[in-house]
Amino acid sequence: MNQKSLLELVKKHGSPLFVVDHAELRKNYALFRKHFPRVQIYYAVKVNSDPAIVKTFYELGGSFDVASIQEFRTVYQCIAKLPAKQRQDFIWDKIIYANPIKPVETLEELDRYKPLVTYDNHEEVKKIAKHAPHAGLALRLRVPNTGSMVELSSKFGALPGEAVDLIKYAHEHDLVVEGLSFHVGSQCTNPQNYIQAINLCANIFAEAKSRGFNLKLLDIGGGFPAAYDATVPKFSALAKTINHELDRLFPKEIEILAEPGRFLVASAGTAVSKIIGKAFRNEKLGYYVDDGVYHTYSGVIFDHCTYHLKSFKRGAPQVCAVFGPTCDALDTISLSEELPDLEIGEYLYSENIGAYSAASSTHFNGFPPATVVHVNQ
């Protein structure tokens, strides 16, 4: 988004503003397709669950990774328009429920759709057998998350040593395990995580086969890094490494899924906020803006992400802090930005803030989330 359009939008819609550029969503989707021709894309809805974003990916032929019944319903709204027969044949191709822990009420609601769901423990098998006996299963494995910005392996994932026993346990409960899934950690800049995980899965495929269980699909999860800065490895190089391992270890008939989230939406989101106050604190200029870490900048806390702020006006840069509008000191966007001297009422903006941002906005302190505007839809 260029500065002129952003300024026009914020003047029209007010601040704080969260702009989603659908041309950028389509560009990222096409890039993923191009570099992973063998892989079906299941967009991880939690990263930004805006129904307009889901619709854009759906229209491109995308599928979805959902992790709650609410996310399932958001996606199902797109599918519901299809004829009934097609809808049922379609559901695995379109949705994976990839939260290994599911409330009983969710399983009961999901069962009639014959869903594909992940699991990683014995209790979950018992729950699924009782409350969603028509589900297909994918076993989530614990894999190395070394060097990823957000670690995702301490909460979920069966140990490789337990894998085949967990597959057997599911079969004993009349459930079919279709394949394996993993997540290498979000914003994964270390290709070794993917290589190790794929090799681990190939070993488990072989062990399962030797014990009479034929696995058919491999879900390589998310983690594909957004190009936040020049230190992030090139996507094409990462894709080449991953494809090489997939082709070496998994025959053509094995279906490969991926659940990219951040990669598809990070660069499509821009946040615009207004300066509402200005003060010198600790010998440093501080700007107070009308968006913060309880809102669009929630990634500062939950996503371990740093966002830079830019001004629309040029001028000699000086080191300053930028704070959000709430009364909590935690509501600090950055303690070291370089911005020119700006007045109250002027605007700041941050790019590459489409992932894990507006999705976890709150109403804390009475400040509502930023207004969302979709462009190039």
Instruction: Give the residue numbers annotated as catalytic, written as ranges.
Output: 327
- Which residues, numbered 257-276, are part of the site for ligand PLP (CB under 6 A)? 259-263
Q: Which two tokens stand for residue 348?
A: 């700041």
Minimum CB distance to ligand PLP, residue 189 (Å):
11
With respect to ligand PLP, which residue has the nearer C-beta, 263 or 287?
A: 263
With respect to ligand PLP, which residue has the nearer C-beta, 258 or 289?
A: 258
- Region binding ligand PLP by CB under 6 A among candidate stretches 84-92, 191-199, 254-262, 300-308: 254-262
For Cα atoms 270, 42, 164, give the angle at the middle one, nearest 5 degrees. 135
Distance separating alpha carbons of residues 338 and 191, to the nearest angstrom: 33
Q: Which residue is nearest to ligand PLP (CB)?
A: 222
Of 39, 54, 75, 98, which lies in the binding site for ligand PLP, with binding defined by CB under 6 A?
98
With respect to ligand PLP, which residue has the nearer C-beta, 221 or 324?
A: 221
What b/e string do you get for 150-187 counting C-beta neighbours within 10 Å, with b at 16 or more?
A: bebbeebbbebebbbebbebbeeeebebbbbbbbbbbb
- Reference 143, options 124, 130, 159, 155; nearest CA is 159
Site track for ligand PLP across 104-143, x = CB under 6 A: ----------------------------------------
With respect to ligand PLP, which residue has the nearer C-beta, 115 or 221?
A: 221
| Interface with ligand PLP: number of residues (CB under 6 A) | 16
- Reference 63, options 40, 82, 36; nearest CA is 40
Based on the shown chain and the rule CB under 6 A, indicate whether residue 183 belongs to the binding site for ligand PLP. Answer: yes
Torsion of CA 147, 150, 153, 157, to 10 degrees: -130
Based on the shown chain and the rule CB under 6 A, indicate whether residue 65 belongs to the binding site for ligand PLP. Answer: yes
Based on the shown chain and the rule CB under 6 A, indicate whether residue 39 belongs to the binding site for ligand PLP. Answer: no
**Long-range CB contacts (within 8 A, 24+) of 111-120:** 111/135, 113/76, 113/88, 114/88, 115/72, 115/91, 116/91, 116/92, 116/178, 118/181, 118/219, 119/166, 119/170, 120/156, 120/157, 120/158, 120/166
Of 57, 224, 323, 347, which lies in the binding site for ligand PLP, with binding defined by CB under 6 A?
224
Of 221, 292, 299, 325, which lies in the binding site for ligand PLP, with binding defined by CB under 6 A?
221
Contact residues for ligand PLP, defined by CB under 6 A: 44, 46-47, 65, 98, 183, 186, 221-224, 259-263
